[in-house]
Structure formats: C-alpha cells, structure tokens
C-alpha cells in the first residue's frame, strides 16, 4: 500500500508540542471541542499502528515507525467515535454516531469485512473481552450490548437506563462491567457481567471516561466538571478529588503495567499522577487544550489530540517520568 501523501504527516519539534514528538499527524475536520467529544485512540497490540476516527466519519490508521497512513476512508455516515483493535491484532472495529459497527481485516489491508446496525442512536464506546470472543458496546440508547465476535451477532442486551454510555471498562475476572454515563447523579455504575443487573450506583456526575488500574484494585474515572473518582473494586469504597485540573477534564488513561495514570484537560496540560496516592508526579505543558490521550499496550507509544487538530505521538521512554537524573 502506498504511503499517505506528504501533506498529511508533518514533523515539528517544539512548535506544536513540547519538543519530544516522534510524529505529528494533522486530523482534518477534527471535532469542535465546544460541541462534541473527540474520537478515542486505539493502538494495535504490537504497537505498530494507531487508529482513530474523525468528525466526518472517516477512520484512519497510521503506521507509526513508517510514518505513513495505511488506511483512511469515510466509513460512518456521522462521526466515528471509537476504534478498537482485537486482542490478537487481526481485526479492527469502529463505532459511530450512526449507531453502526464496522469490522476490518488488518491482515488484508484493513478491508471492511462486516458491519451491523446496532442502534438508531449513537454508539460511543466499544471494548473487547480479553479473549477477543466478545465485544461490548454502548451509547445514547442507554443499552449495554454484548456481541459474539468475529460473528458480530448480538447475544445479549442490558437496558441500564442510566444515561448515555460514554465509556466501558471490563473486569470479567470478577464478573464486573464498569460504565461511565451522562447521568447527573449516578454517572458511574458497576454491572454484573452475567445478569446485566446494576450492582452499585455511585454518586458521580457525568462521567466521561474511566480506566482500570494495572493491578485491578481500582477503577479511576473523571467527570467533565474536573472531579476525579477512584473506586476500590473489592469494597466499592470511593475517593474523590475536586478540581483535578483548572479547566474541564477530557479523558483518563492508565499507563499499562505501572501505577501511573494520565489525565487531559482544556487547561493545556497532560497530568501524570500516582494511582495509589492520587498525587501529581509530572505534567506536560502544551500550546492548546488536550482533548484525548492513549497508550499502546506494549508501553512504547503515547498519542494525544490537541484542540487545534494535531495528534502528537510520543515515545514513552522519552517522557519526563522515565528520565533519569
């Protein structure tokens, strides 16, 4: 496959980020942060590719080391919200505001192989089971969908009625599914993975993103109004930290196999904090609001999206908390 035309991949050092970028990608028609959410990142398990969606329905995949786009097509009729690679790296799935799921064969140049209209409303979140045999999806219909994969057939649907589903975290070794929703009170819920019943409803407002700590002890979540929540996955006790950023918080990700998590914000920073203490350890200042962030599971890459439409790729080994004095 031919590389992307040069105008779409740009290289800057210091003028766009904070000076340590491996790669800078321009995302055409990136979402307006005042009116819409930013599409989520996904890295392939081997860290070779980073994938993301755009406001115009396009799904894009970039080979990081080759510095070339290997896939870029308008797939969804509305915004493409989330993209995920299967655990074995053989498939990629995208969901969007058109309520549809698309499956791509990675080994066949990302050829589209299946699609399914799951809902008439937006599907915002998708996650694979660790074995890759199930896909969980949720969105504006307030339903948690369970699909067989790669057949892409709906096997179960749990009508949570707890607000629009923004994010999903699976803890299937404990038969738990953690869900962040738009609900004003009770925006963080934990669901029994077998029955679909809500086990606990936490007093959290409009949870926009969440993630599981590397040891599985905590679920961390953030709300748009700058509150950080940490829930013990055994006792269900919850800690909160208000005004975690000086402006709206946009997403949260745990750095795989570490006790570090990162949060992004309109205050133009990426903040790295300790899972156990919730104390900030490092931060990266940037010239624009930071709308999203993701890590590769092999701990090689970090991707962040700025409000001006740039996506920055960093080598994790070069980040401040990995530097030795």
Q: Tens of pLDDT along 297-309?
A: 999 999 998 888 8
Return the SS3 of 320: helix
pTM, two decimals, is 0.90
Tokens of 77: 């009729």
Residues 158 and 191: beta-carbon distance below 8 Å: yes
Return the SS3 of 227: coil
Cα(97)–Cα(121) distance, rounded to whole angstroms?
7
Predicted local confidence at residue 323, as pLDDT: 61
Cα 242 to Cα 90, 114, 247, distances in angstroms: 41, 43, 11
Return the SS3 of 198: strand
Cα(254)–Cα(296) distance, rounded to whole angstroms?
11
Residues 59 and 67: beta-carbon distance below 8 Å: no
Residues 56 and 49: beta-carbon distance below 8 Å: no
Mean pLDDT by runs of 10 across the 325 residues of the chain is 32 49 63 48 95 90 93 92 96 96 97 97 96 97 97 97 94 96 88 95 90 97 92 95 91 95 95 95 91 93 88 86 61
Cα(204)–Cα(245) distance, rounded to whole angstroms?
17
Query: Where is 73: in which H helix or E strand?
Result: strand 68-74
Sketch the domain layout of the chain as residue ranges.
162-285
Predicted local confidence at residue 23, as pLDDT: 76
Residues 72 and 54: beta-carbon distance below 8 Å: no
Predicted local confidence at residue 39, as pLDDT: 63
> Topology of domain 162-285, per CATH?
Methylamine Dehydrogenase; Chain H (2.130.10)
Predicted local confidence at residue 176, as pLDDT: 97
β partners of residue 201: 189
Residues 265 and 248: beta-carbon distance below 8 Å: yes
Cα(211)–Cα(144) distance, rounded to whole angstroms?
17
């Amino acid at each position: 496959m031919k590389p992307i035309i040069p105008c779409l991949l740009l290289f800057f050092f210091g003028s766009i980020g904070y000076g340590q970028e491996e790669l800078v990608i321009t995302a055409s028609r990136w979402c307006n942060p005042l009116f819409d959410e930013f599409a989520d990142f996904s890295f392939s398990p081997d860290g070779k590719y980073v994938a993301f969606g755009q406001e115009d329905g396009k799904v894009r995949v970039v080979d990081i080391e080759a510095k070339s786009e290997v896939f870029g097509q308008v797939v969804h009729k509305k915004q493409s919200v989330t993209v995920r690679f299967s655990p074995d790296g053989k498939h990629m799935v995208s969901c969007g505001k058109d309520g549809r799921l698309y499956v791509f064969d990675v080994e066949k140049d990302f050829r589209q192989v299946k699609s399914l209209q799951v809902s008439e409303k937006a599907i915002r979140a998708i996650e694979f089971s660790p074995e890759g045999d199930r896909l969980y999806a949720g969105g504006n219909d307030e339903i948690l969908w369970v699909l067989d994969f790669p057949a892409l057939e709906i096997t179960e649907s749990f009508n949570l009625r707890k607000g629009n589903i923004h994010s999903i975290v699976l803890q299937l070794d404990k038969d738990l599914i953690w869900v962040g929703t738009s609900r004003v009170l009770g925006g963080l819920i934990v669901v029994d993975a077998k029955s679909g019943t809500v086990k606990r409803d936490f007093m959290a407002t409009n949870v926009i993103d969440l993630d599981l700590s590397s040891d599985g002890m905590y679920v961390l979540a953030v709300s748009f109004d700058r509150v950080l929540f940490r829930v013990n996955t055994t006792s269900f006790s919850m800690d909160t930290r208000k005004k975690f950023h000086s402006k709206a918080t946009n997403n949260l990700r745990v750095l795989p196999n570490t006790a570090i998590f990162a949060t992004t914000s309109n205050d133009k920073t990426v903040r790295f904090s300790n899972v156990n203490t919730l104390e900030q350890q490092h931060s990266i200042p940037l010239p624009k609001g930071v709308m999203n962030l993701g890590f590769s599971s092999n701990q090689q890459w970090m991707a962040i999206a700025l409000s001006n439409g740039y996506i920055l790729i960093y080598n994790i080994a070069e980040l401040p908390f990995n530097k030795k004095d």
